[in-house]
Amino acid sequence: MLAATHAGFATALYLGGAAVFEYPTDPVSWGLAVFFSFMPDIDIPTSKVGRPLFFLSVPLEKRFGHRTITHSIIGVAILSALAAPLYFFFPLCFWSVVGGYWSHIQIDMANIRGVDLFWPSPIRVMMPGKMKYRLEVGSKAEMVILCALVLLCVGLYPLSGLGLRGGLHQLLKDFDIAYDEFVEVQGLNWHTLELKAIDNLTLEHIECSCPVLGAWQSGLIVEHNGKARSVGKSQVQHNLYPVDAVLIEGEPLRVISQRVDMKGRSLRWLVDNVKANHGYYLLGELYVDADKVVNVSQIESYHPVIWGGDKIRLHYARAEDLKDYLNLTAIRGEVVVQFWLRPGDAAVELSFGGETGKASTPAVLEDIF
C-alpha cells in the first residue's frame, strides 16, 4: 500500500478509537500513530522510512525479505517490548505506537500478496480471501479506498472529541444519556443543560440553558429563573419533564464546603450569621421537635427544602428558600455550606457572627481564609 493509504487508515483507527473508547486526542499521539504506520516497511530500502534508516532496511531485506518478520506477530511483539516504558508514563502514546504499527499490517492483508503474519510459518494472511477483491499497490481501487478513508477521517474528527456516546447524545438529545454523563463527572466541571421541557404542574413549555446543580431521583437539579428545579421522567418526583436535553461541559469547578453543627440552632441563626463573599448552597438534614410540625412525609416531588415529619432536608437550597422555615430549631443535625468557584474567583471568606459563637474552620479552608 502507498504511504498515504497507511496514514489514512492509521488516522481512521486512531479517531475511531477515540470515538468508541473516549480517550483524549492530541497531536503527539496522533503523530505517533501515523509515523509508526510506516514502520513495518522498514524491511524495504526504497520505502519512506527505509531510505533514512537504510542501515536497518538493507540488512532486513537481505535476511528476511519484504512483508515477513516486520509484518508479523513477532514484529508487533518486538515493537511492544521496545515501547513498553511508554506504557507506564504515557499509555496513550504506547497504544498509538502499537496501534499505528498494527494498522499497517492490517491493511496490507488486503494486498494481493498478503502478509506473513505468523512468520516464520509460510502461512500468509489475506483479507478478503478472493483475489479479485484484494488491492494492487497504486491501483485505481487503492485510490478509491484512500479517498474513502479521507472522508471517513473528516467525519470521525468531530466525533472523536465527543465520543460515541456524546455524539449519540448530540444527535438524539436524550435525557438519560445526559443524566448518566453528569453522574460520572459531577463536581469536576460546571455543566449546562440545553433543555426543552414541560412543567408538570402548569404544563408550560420551557426552553432554556440551565446550570446543573446536582442529581435527584434519577433526574437532574437545574437552576431555572433563579430557582432550583428537578428535571426527570417521573411526574411525581420531578418538576420538569424533559423533551430534549443536551449536557454541555463548561470550565473547571472547584467546590469548597463547610460543615455547621445545627444542634440547638435555628435556620434563622444560620441565615443571619453566615457571612461570605460568595453565593452558596445549603445541603443536609435537620431533626426538629416532631410535636411542633405536621407530618408531610408522603410528599415526593423535589423542592430545595423538604419538610417531612420530624426531618427537614436541604438539597441545594439558598437562603431565600428558607423563609418559611426560619423559626424551626434543630434537635440534631448538620448543614453543609457549599461554595462553587470558577477559575480566577476570589478565595472564599466565610465567618459566623452572632452570640452563639463562630463555627470552626476545617483544615481544607485554613489557607484560604
Lowest mean pLDDT among 64-78, 124-138, 202-216, 221-235: 124-138
71-91: per-residue pLDDT in tens?
899 999 999 999 999 999 999
DSSP string, 81-120: HHHHHHHHH-HHHHHHHHHHHHHHHHHHTTBSS-B-TTTT
In the chain, where the domains are located: 3-170, 175-251, 254-366
Which amino acid type is present at position 200? N
Above 80 in pLDDT, residue 298?
no
pTM: 0.60
SS3 9: helix
Residue 304 near residue 312 (C-beta atoms within 8 A): no
Distances (CA, A) of 93 to 42, 84, 86: 21, 10, 7
How do beta strands 189-199 and 205-216 pair?
antiparallel
Which amino acid type is present at position 308? G
231-252: per-residue pLDDT in tens?
999 888 899 999 999 898 889 9
CATH architecture of 175-251: Roll (2.30)
